[in-house]
Amino acid sequence: MTATTLKETITTESVRTGLRLNTTYYRLELRRIMRDKVTLFFTVGLPAVMYVIFGASPDYGDEPIRDGNVAMWIMIAMAAYGAVSATTGIGGSAAIERMQGWTRQLGLTPMRPAEFVAVKAATAMTVAAAPILIVFAIGALTGASAPLHVWVLSALVLVVGAMTFALYGLGFGLAFRSEAAVSAAGGALVVMAFFGNIFIPLNGWQLLVAKFTPLYGYVSLARRPLTGGNTIDPETGDLIPEPLWQVLANVSFWTIAFAMLTMVLVQKGRGRQ
């Protein structure tokens, strides 16, 4: 066997080992999360209840928005809140793992920091699909209305975009050596949800500030198939044009920022002193 062939064999085997390790870690993470029935119930159930109260029950839910209605607009927001709550909680659990020395234990394996972050994000995105599916199903049964492509595109944006908040929760968990990190991340998420146009439509200075916050771009992008690139003026009910580049810039900036911060903190947590 030549040196080149040996090198190729070792490289191929390393790649296979890495894939097996990442897949195994992903599977174990899902099992651990599924065992926490109470957290799963509130993650999935609370957004569904909020949609029924604020979207399906009031009369204004039938008000039209282009080819859909207000109930659909609220349904997307509640599904978004459920998705980011799930991903934030999963990412924040890294605080407990760090206290137990799990990140240093992983440092003894071939798994690199980027792979650790990727597995955490993939797990969170998988779990985030649950509240999205439940809320969308209830919405379909209680009057939320829009063309089929709106349902599909909005759901895809919500699932993929949830990755940003998996990184957010993971960063929070790695930054603080305390179980309170998960609660702190969740508490901050409520404030961001307000400025993300999730609970009520914003205008004036509040809307201006909101456009620089993490949740705003995510929710606006998910609603875009319904609104056609507009936001709602809460005083008149009219649709206000919103440039796509602003929404994409918001999502891109916060995703990159959380990813970079998380990778730095993972590497720091593996440091041996």
Q: What is the pLDDT of residues 171-202, one digit of tens each?
A: 887 777 666 777 778 888 888 998 888 888 88
- Rounded-to-integer distance, Cα 80 and Cα 63, Å: 21
List all residues 6 or more positions away from 271 whose beta carbon is below 8 Å from its beta carbon: none
Average confidence score pLDDT of the chain? 80
Rounded to 5°, the CA angle 241-245-249 comes to 125
Binned at pLDDT 50, 70 and 90, residue 247 comes out as very high
Question: Predicted confidence band at 101 (pLDDT cuts at 50, 70, 90)?
Answer: low
Give, as one character, the DSSP assignment of residue 241: E
At 126 the three-state DSSP class reads: helix
| Average pLDDT score over residue span 9-24 | 55
Query: Encoding tokens for residue 113?
Result: 């920091």
- Please report where in the chains the tokens 């109930």 appear, as a residue: 71
- Kindly report the number of other CB atoms within 10 A of residue 168's CB atom: 29
Tell whether the model's pLDDT for residue 143 goes beyond 80. yes
CB atoms within 10 A of CB 31: 9
Average pLDDT on 14-36 reads 70
**Quick one: pLDDT at residue 109?**
66
By three-state DSSP, how is residue 178 classified?
A: coil
At residue 14, the pLDDT reads 46
> CA-CA distance, 273 to 269, in Å (whole number)?
10
Q: What is the mean pLDDT of residues 122-150?
A: 89
In eight-state DSSP terms, residue 203 is -
d(C-alpha 96, C-alpha 181), whole Å:
9
Angle at the Cα of 194 from the Cα atoms of 67 and 96, rounded to 5 degrees: 120
Quote the CA–CA distance of 124 and 84 in Å, as a whole number: 9
Residue-level pLDDT at 13: 45
Q: pTM of the full predicted structure? A: 0.82
pLDDT of 91 reads 72
Residue 198 and residue 77 in contact, taking contact as beta carbons nearer than 8 Å: yes
Confidence band (pLDDT; 50, 70, 90) for 239?
confident
User: Which alpha helices (H) appear in the chain, and where do they start and end?
Assistant: 3-34, 37-51, 70-92, 94-99, 102-106, 113-141, 148-161, 163-175, 180-195, 204-210, 214-227, 244-269
175 with 74: CB under 8 angstroms?
A: no
Q: Is the pLDDT of residue 7 over 60?
A: no
Band the pLDDT of 95: cuts 50, 70, 90: low
Distance CA 118, CA 163 (A): 9
Q: Does residue 55 contact residue 5 with C-beta atoms inside 8 Å?
A: no
Q: Which helix (H) or strand (E) covers residue 64, if one does?
A: strand 64-65
Residue with tokens 């999360």: 33
How crowded is residue 177: how many other Cβ atoms within 10 Å of its Cβ? 12
- Domain borders along the chain are 35-269
Report the range of poorest mean pLDDT among 4-13, 31-40, 201-210.
Answer: 4-13
Map residue 60 onto helix, strand or coil: helix
Q: Which pLDDT value is given to residue 205?
A: 85
